[in-house]
Chains A and B, each alone.
Chain A
Amino acid sequence: MMNLRMIATKGTLFAGALFLASTALTGLVDAKSLTVGLTSDAVNLDPQAGEELSSNILFYHIYDPLVRRNADLSFGPGLAESWELADDTTWVFKLRKGVKFHNGEEFKASDVVFTLDRLKKSLMANLGANISSFKAIDDYTVEIKTPRPYAVLPNDLAAVLILNEKYVKEAGDETADLKPIGTGPYKLVEWVKEDHIALESNKDYYAGPAKLDTVTFRPITNGATRTAALLTGEVDVVQDLNVRDVDRVKADGRYKVLAQPSLLNVVLSIDQREKSPTVDLDKNPMVDHRVREAMVRAIDVGAINKVIMNGLSTPSEQYVPASHTGYLDGASFRDMYPFDVEKATALMAEAGYADGFTVTLDATNNRYVNDQQIVQALASMLGKIKINLKLNLMPKSNFFGYIRVPSDKSSLIMSGWDVPSGDGGSMYSVMFYTRDKKEGYGQVNRGSYSNPEVDALIDKADATAKLDQRDKFLQDVTKILMADIPMIPIHYEQDLYAAKTSVDITPRADKFLWAYDIDVKE
């Protein structure tokens, strides 16, 4: 007995010692790390070299913008502490002092000027389209002028990431593309193409160091492999969880699934010209409002949501989401034109098209979630009111060149549109403003929609520097558009994520996974 007890005591002591040793060890390696499975590798770590989601996600870890876009699409200070309108077209940005780039250089107004200057000459010149001139007043003040009053300049600047002038000039573009230097919360440690990108926390980050010490992004293109990597513990979070894996992951208590309605509105543009290239009649019947209304009523968005999207979509009420300028409270396409095939058939007959017509719909087969199935459903739904849809499907690499304005080959186009800046006006001005009337307006007006009233309201919205006034004008545009139906909104996709339950993560509205907001519980 005695012996046994002694052994037991010794055992306890030993176990206790082991326990102490292990806590001491965990105390030493307290570093928190996270591995994220992304759908693709970043192509480039220069924020002015192109636009792609994975690259964008990485940019915001390494660089900072002047104005920060928050997870809910509100805007707040970034590298600029505050900003104000000096006059209708002049903005003054006060910069944060004492911010350091990863190479130790201090952040100054000259870096902002350098960044904007380089931006204007880059592939991303579009981001600076509403900036006419800019200059440094002193080391911590920048003045930016817009060609016209432009209330949403700060929104636009959230997409402009600040580079270090000295570094980019000395290292050259090619090196800067691969070994970025920014002021962001994370520094690049290693980038092995297509394998992983390792980041470590920038302890000197102006808003305080991130909770996670290291973050590794791994590109895993195949959706099933991404799920497998999560289930085997190789990654902690995955982006774009496969729809068919949702139940499987949810059923396992070690993981959670997170869904966030995306900003991407899948829409159907309708040609508004008197003669349309693919319609089999002499006159374009879709010019008639009754025909467009019949089309909306014949499309059962609820069925698309249930049958094709597995419930993982949000039928869109308007052209822009509720968080955006121009959104009209309470107005909904679904209430204005509820699904009603009988009414739709009657409207077609009233318009004189009881026998229907044939028209081609251009769409992608690899860009939007289930795009091919959606257009097939549209064909069968519109077929019921005798609009015979011919489907012209193509991969996205051909599509965006094919539908570009003014190529004029299309009568109906299904595409998606998102406005991460939160400003509905930027969409309205390029999509609904009369074509070829004003530089920078109407360049993606794929249905050749033209309404002088809409043009005038957009002009007014773009002439005021006051955000609430702009919002008011744009809401009036929304009202007219919803009555006119130049385009049928279908749904917003949903962004899906899965994570270990220990990961404290909230998806952002703009799909940018930002590790600075993420924590890991013990």
Chain B
Amino acid sequence: MLGYTIKRLLQMVLVLSVVSVIVFLMMSFTGDPVFMVIPIDSTAAEIEQARRLLGLDQSLFSQYWIFLSNLLQGDFGRSYVFRQPAIDLILERLPATMEMVLVAMGIATIIAIPLGVYAGANPNRAASRGIMAASLFGISLPGFWVGMMLIFFFSVRYQFLPSSGRGETIEVLGLRLSIFTADGWSHMILPAVTLALATLAIILRITRAGMMEVMRQDYIKFARAKGASRRHILFAHGLKNALIPVITIFGLQLGDLIAFATITETIFAWPGTGKLLIDSIYRGDRPVIVVYLMLTAFIFVAINFLVDIAYTLIDPRITVK
């Protein structure tokens, strides 16, 4: 286990350095960030001064070298636009995104797994067919459209829930959170549901497929013959063995939502990290983009690690090495 952890950590460092090199190279092909932050009629001397102030007068290689050596001292670089440390900008917005993503994943899981088990165990019932048809909507409807429709019905038409923002927040352990206030929840529901839909549909379909396969196995027949209760058969024998692909997808979706909840955040004016990424790309704010994508890579690697650990807990035949 320890060896495995160390191996994964080394992998993580490798992934992060590759990401940083790729992002740095990509940046050199995009626009010149100087022109995003200074007035357009600046003279050559003023442009040079700005370039010096931003550290862009150095070659790409030495910029990368400076970035790396600062990184080892815990300095992730400064945003050109905000002039604040890039990592602070991201961490400041991360609680809002995490909160929304976790609520969305919670909604998706709580609804998708029972429905998936039901549809997988009784594939021919009308209700199962209905669930599967509905899940197609969840996969194919674009998030921005769903978001706009929710706003139209629940905010504008019936004035039932607010359309945007995060509402009242309170500080818990130094983090600004809205899940502990009623106002916060009323702001949270629409974006979380919007974000949850696609994931819900995917988890549902994977669970169903897994259940259908498992239910044909001999041990299920055996359990049935033994006289185990239907509920026990479905959840203890069936779901447990169908869960491995579900967990894999869960992990991937979780990472995906944390890193790229951009559209939902933009529509609901949710003050999270996704909007920061988009804005930074528009503004050519390289330090923020680099740190953001590295953090994203880190989150994916970390989630995959946790997913692998979860495999071993569910299926003792799987060992990590």
Contact = CB atoms under 8 A, between A and B. Distances in A.
Interface in A198-251: 218-222, 224-225, 228-229, 231-234
A519 to B, nearest CB: 25
A123 B51 CA distance: 9
A234 B162 contact: yes
A194 B275 contact: yes
B31 A219 contact: no
A366 B282 CA distance: 10
A51 B38 contact: yes
A116 interface: no
A429 B152 CA distance: 50
B165 A234 contact: yes
Contacts of B159: 232-233
Nearest to B78: A174
B84 A232 contact: no
Contacts of A398: 30-31
Contacts of A143: none
B166 interface: yes
A346 to B, nearest CB: 38
A371 to B, nearest CB: 15
B93 interface: yes
A193 B43 CA distance: 33
Contacts of A219: 269
Contacts of B139: none
Nearest to A231: B156
A122 B42 CA distance: 12
Contact of A222 (B33, B53, B267): B267
A280 B10 CA distance: 55
A439 to B, nearest CB: 7
B256 interface: no
A231 B38 CA distance: 36
Interface in B112-135: none
Given A123-B50, A439-B43, A228 B38 contact: no
Contacts of A173: 83
A290 B122 CA distance: 78
B40 interface: yes
B279 A40 contact: yes
B41 A194 contact: no
A443 B50 contact: no
Contacts of B163: 225, 228-229, 232, 234
A218 B270 CA distance: 11
Interface stretch (A125-133, A293-301, A500-508): A125-133
Contacts of A426: 41
B60 to A, nearest CB: 15
Interface residue tally of chain B, by bracket? Answer: 35 or more
Nearest to A46: B83
A3 interface: no
Contacts of B271: 192-195
Contacts of B308: none
Contact of B41 (A49, A126, A395): A126
A220 B281 CA distance: 18
B39 A124 contact: yes
B248 interface: no
Interface string B9-35: 000000000000000000000111111
A402 B271 CA distance: 32
Contacts of A192: 169, 176, 271
Nearest to A225: B164
Contacts of B169: 192
A123 B40 contact: no
A399 B268 contact: no
Contact of A225 (B38, B53, B269): B269
Given A127-B39, A401-B35, A444-B40, A228 B156 contact: yes
Contacts of B108: none
A221 B83 contact: no
B245 to A, nearest CB: 35
A37 to B, nearest CB: 8
25 contacts: A43-B81, A44-B81, A44-B83, A50-B38, A121-B49, A123-B53, A125-B50, A126-B41, A126-B42, A218-B165, A218-B269, A220-B164, A222-B266, A225-B269, A229-B164, A229-B165, A231-B155, A232-B155, A232-B159, A232-B163, A395-B31, A397-B31, A399-B31, A440-B43, A443-B44
Given A49-B83, A228-B163, 16 more contacts: A50-B81, A51-B39, A124-B39, A125-B49, A126-B43, A192-B169, A218-B164, A225-B164, A228-B164, A229-B164, A234-B165, A366-B282, A430-B41, A439-B43, A439-B45, A443-B41
The 5 closest A-B pairs by CB, nearest first: A194-B271, A401-B32, A398-B31, A400-B35, A397-B31
